[in-house]
Amino acid sequence: MAKRFVPLLLAAVALLIAGESNAAEATRAAVEIATPPAVYGTDAASLQAIAAGELREFDTRRAVVVSVALAEPTGDPIVVGVDATVRESKTGKVLAVIETEMRATGPMSPAQTRAMAHTAVKLAVRRVPSALTPVK
């Protein structure tokens, strides 16, 4: 877990240093995407559009920033990991850390690899509402 969390932290810091934070946008839930590994054949803008589309349905009572990072695919079966942090946009306080994985076996075409990355990001972002819901 720690090995997968370190790239997420580095990506979040890099985005903040580079001034690429989307927290100033008018939406209540902004999205930051770390540059994905080249093996996925996709870019951060595409992943950001996918994540933002998933968050449109989500109504939060506080403004949050969702930072998402894809890990390099590993092993056999192929494992695609996605780490996401959810923070308050004003204070930067971490509200939730989300980790998801997708697995596939066999050789994959570039289109399948890209689709797997897109789906993994969707699944991680879909967990944001439940991650922010208090346990009763």
Q: Where are the domains of the chain?
A: 2-131
Give me the chain's average pLDDT, please.
81
Report whether pLDDT(3) > 80: no
- CA pair distance 3, 24, nearest whole angstrom: 30
CATH 3.40.50 is right for the domain spanning 2-131 = no
The average pLDDT across 93-111 equals: 91
Range with the poorest average pLDDT among 22-36, 94-108, 119-133:
22-36
CB 8 within 8 A of CB 81: no
What pTM, to 2 d.p., does this model score? 0.74
- CA pair distance 8, 15, nearest whole angstrom: 11
